[in-house]
Structure 1
Amino acid sequence: MRATGPAAFPYLLARHELRLWASLWLWAARRTHDSAAGGAAFGYARGQGAMMFGLAFVCVVESVTMSVLLRDWPAAHHVVLVLDVYTVVMVVGLHAASVVRPHVLDAAAGTLRVRRALHVDVRIPLERIASVRRELRTTHTPADGELDLAVGSQTSVTVELTEPVAHLSFFGRRREVRVVRCHADDPGAFVRAVELAREGHAVP
């Protein structure tokens, strides 16, 4: 059972950090996390790559600047350097988590797994999908029963369901959602594959 409540925060934070390090290892090894054998994987991280590496570059510049400013205070310099390096690693780790955790369409199991980095992993039975379509959105207003998984401030695929599916937040809060909007690097291929799987055809 997933830990919830304020008392679970240290556990959730430690679990998050371990999964970030695991994502970096998988990325370096050119592997993906828990993608079904024979399932079709669809990436979504391309749209955020430039932004994440830009953020990492800014962190590196900040680290160098702080090293110069604190060069006469060795103790403070070492502490800040460790924190700065760790921040850079975590930023790269977040991008790695998105790369190694793609959306997965497992036609044999009849499920569509929609993910975003470490924070979202929603399994949607194909029989509950009412429609799937390409739909580019750059603004998202929170609404009950809707889950928006924007990447680079945009979603490109909308999945509407006949019955709700459960989504658990980072802290274990459960939500029932009937509409899932996500991003895919190739939304056309993503939509075609889901439609083929729903019709019982083999997914290329």
Structure 2
Amino acid sequence: MTISPDSRPVFPELNKPAPAFTAPTTHGPISLSDYRGKWLVLFSHPADFTPVCTTEFIGFAQAKPEFDRLNCALLGLSIDSHYAHIAWMRNIEEKFQVEIPFPIIADLSMEVANAYGMIQVGASDTSAVRATFIIDPDGVLRAMAYYPMTNGRSVAEFVRLVEALQTSDANKVATPENWHPGDEVIVPPPATADLAKTRAGEGYNYVDWYFSKRAL
């Protein structure tokens, strides 16, 4: 993993290989390569036994069947020990009756957090912000989002985004704002002036040469 000499975060890049890692987790040692052939949502949280993080972990746990349906695994991370993670998981199950079914990376060295730019100078010098990374079955980083310490994520949005990415890959289309399965998708705009002239007659839901939709 690469950490810059001046300790500033090194951010991964979209559509490039996600930073490789092997790390201890609540399910034993795990490597990024273990997820080849599956989609992966890797998400960090500031600390165990904190209220916002607890709501997020409950949300991810409850949404796991939706991620399973999409062939997508979940993997959490914080800069805590795996003993703290285990105690927190047990506490969530006891107090909220929700089992946490996915592994959590224990990143005491901050190696994974630094590789993914989860440490934000001025916002979280010694803990990870709420960062989320969607990695495809080839190990390529396809989407990422960073949230402040004070505000929880929408887990449903990451379910939606994984499904939108899979739809775009399978059909060579884009998806509009807040797209959900069953909605029309956006047809790629024509690449030449001649093709733009004929777009209106191609049978799509046509608005203009650059904006057409279709059903799947």
TM range, smaller chain? under 0.3
- Structure with the bigger percentage of helix: 1
By percentage of residues, which structure has more strand?
1
TM-score by length of structure 2 reads 0.24
Task: Give TM-score, length-normalised by structure 1.
Answer: 0.25
